[in-house]
Amino acid sequence: MTHPRPGGWFITFEGIDGAGKSTHLPALAQALQAQGRVVLQTREPGGTPLAERLRELLLHEPMDPLCEALLMFAARRDHWQRAIEPALAAGQVVLCDRFTDATFAYQGHGRGFDLGVLDTLERWVQTDAQGRLRQPDLTLWFDVPPAVAAQRLAAVRTPDRFEAEPLAFFERVRAGYAARASAAPERIVRIDATRPLPQVWAEVESVCRARGVLA
């Protein structure tokens, strides 16, 4: 798999809450660091002081879908410019818990927001100085039925504004992820996250070795 920055990888972890992505991101970071790579672990919304402040608003304050989408991309722009882009330019591996695929899945399919508007915002925020639309080099989509994810989360924490949505919302989000994966099969790899953690990690490791992320 080719990407524009020799030595630098941008890898995103996607899926609904409870899918297990946040468990495997630090595991991959540890494996990469063991091979001598410098790794930036980050998340969306968040990753910079400004984006983290916007995250708190997004997770806890009521707002309409347009405001939600605009804040997501505002946070992403700051995150990209101040954290992700400099790390990639330095040859680091960036592991990000969610990125733009989540916006299309949650705001686009979950909320029913206009996908054409999201396409426009994506181009505005992620087009670089050379006119290229920057996307992750690899996206791992941890797929799990919403009912299973809800059971996993129930014993872990009090739900935020998104996690408190009904199962029908997460079914739409899951369909949104499937649509993104179908449109970009060379980038997005579906991981069956219903299996035991060791089996899921084995597939993550296998995919990363096949793509040249891990030696």
Question: Model confidence over 74-103: pLDDT tens digits?
Answer: 999 999 999 999 999 999 999 999 999 999
At residue 159, does pLDDT exceed 80?
A: no
> Which residues make up each annotated binding site?
15-22
Output the pLDDT for position 60: 92
Output the pLDDT for position 4: 42
Residue 214: pLDDT band (50, 70, 90) is: very high
> Which residues make up each annotated binding site for ATP?
15-22
Output the pLDDT for position 156: 66
**What value, to the nearest 5°, has the Cα angle with vertex 119 and ends 118 and 122?**
85
Output the pLDDT for position 93: 97
- Residue 121 tokens read as 């915002």
Output the pLDDT for position 6: 53
Report d(CA 14, CA 189) in Å as an integer: 10
> CA nearest 47: which of 92, 5, 1, 94?
94
Range with lowest mean pLDDT among 53-57, 59-63, 67-71, 149-153: 149-153
At residue 199, does pLDDT exceed 80?
A: yes
At residue 50, does pLDDT exceed 70?
A: yes
At residue 163, does pLDDT exceed 80?
A: no
Residue 2: pLDDT band (50, 70, 90) is: very low
pTM for this structure?
A: 0.92
In order of their start, the domains of the chain are: 7-209 (3.40.50.300)
Residue 5: pLDDT band (50, 70, 90) is: very low
Q: Which residues contact 62 (CB under 8 A, 6 or more apart)?
A: 161
